[in-house]
């Protein structure tokens, strides 16, 4: 049952702050595991994957990985875990605590730039900077997790899935609502 999903899901999410696929084909493969599992739940056979996620109140695996990365950023900011990537933070009056993304040398090859862009040192700050100031201002980990989950629940979660066509990215990095007050 559901316990089997959590056992498999924990394997798929292990160390995701360090290992977070960004290629659509890799995301589709991972989402395919949860998609197949949820399609076998009685009464949900006629719903598409995105509808099943909503019905079950589940996040996509992609969204869960991004959530874990944001949680790790909070821990780095509050010195709960070591800051091995040397991520810097700055306070702003408009956006609260922002993470600073250190640029890679201009002389770096395209393959190095691609690796750098998909690293935790870049994706972590980009995801952190998408979180509203009020959520980032939470002072305890438990209240931050709750506020972050409430915020993420307001953002459409339609991961790339084989056989479904869509013209947008599901990543929070690429999400820009017309007004943040709309969500």
pLDDT digits 0-9 by tens, 9-31: 555 555 556 667 777 777 777 77
Q: Describe the chain by its helix, strand, coil percentages, rounded to 5.
A: 50, 5, 45
Enter the tokens of residue 140.
């305890």
Average pLDDT of the segment spanning 106-127: 85
pLDDT, position 33: 78
pLDDT over 90 percentage in the chain: 35
User: Which of 7-16, 103-112, 121-130 shows the lowest mean pLDDT across its residues?
Assistant: 7-16
User: Which of 62-66, 68-72, 75-79 shows the lowest mean pLDDT across its residues?
Assistant: 62-66
pLDDT, position 68: 92
Residue 70 pLDDT exceeds 50: yes
Question: Regarding predicted confidence, which is higher, 46 or 70?
Answer: 70
Question: Regarding predicted confidence, which is higher, 128 or 118?
Answer: 128
pLDDT, position 136: 96
Q: Are 71 and 145 in contact (CB under 8 A)?
A: yes
Q: Are 35 and 87 in contact (CB under 8 A)?
A: no
What beta strand segments (E) does the chain contain?
88-92, 96-100
pLDDT digits 0-9 by tens, 154-174: 888 888 877 766 666 788 888
The partner residues of 100 in beta bridges, in order of sequence, read: 88
pLDDT, position 4: 47
pLDDT, position 122: 92
Global model pTM greater than 0.85: no
pLDDT, position 15: 58
Question: Regarding predicted confidence, which is higher, 146 or 23?
Answer: 146
């Amino acid at each position: 049952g559901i316990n089997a999903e959590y056992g498999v899901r924990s394997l798929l999410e292990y160390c995701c702050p360090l290992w977070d696929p960004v290629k659509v084909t890799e995301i589709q493969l991972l989402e395919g595991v949860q998609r197949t599992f949820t399609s076998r739940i009685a009464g949900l056979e006629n719903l598409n994957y995105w509808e099943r996620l909503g019905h079950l109140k589940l996040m996509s695996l992609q969204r869960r990985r991004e959530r874990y990365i944001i949680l790790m950023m909070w821990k780095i900011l509050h010195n709960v875990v070591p800051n091995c990537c040397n991520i810097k933070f700055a306070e702003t009056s408009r956006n609260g605590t922002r993470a600073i993304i250190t640029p890679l040398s201009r002389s770096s090859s395209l393959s190095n730039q691609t690796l750098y862009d998909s690293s935790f040192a870049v994706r972590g700050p980009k995801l952190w900077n998408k979180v509203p100031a009020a959520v980032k201002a939470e002072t305890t980990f438990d209240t931050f997790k709750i506020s972050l989950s409430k915020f993420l629940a307001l953002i459409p979660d339609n991961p790339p899935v084989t056989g479904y066509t869509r013209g947008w990215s599901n990543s929070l990095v690429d999400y820009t609502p017309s007004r943040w007050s709309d969500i």
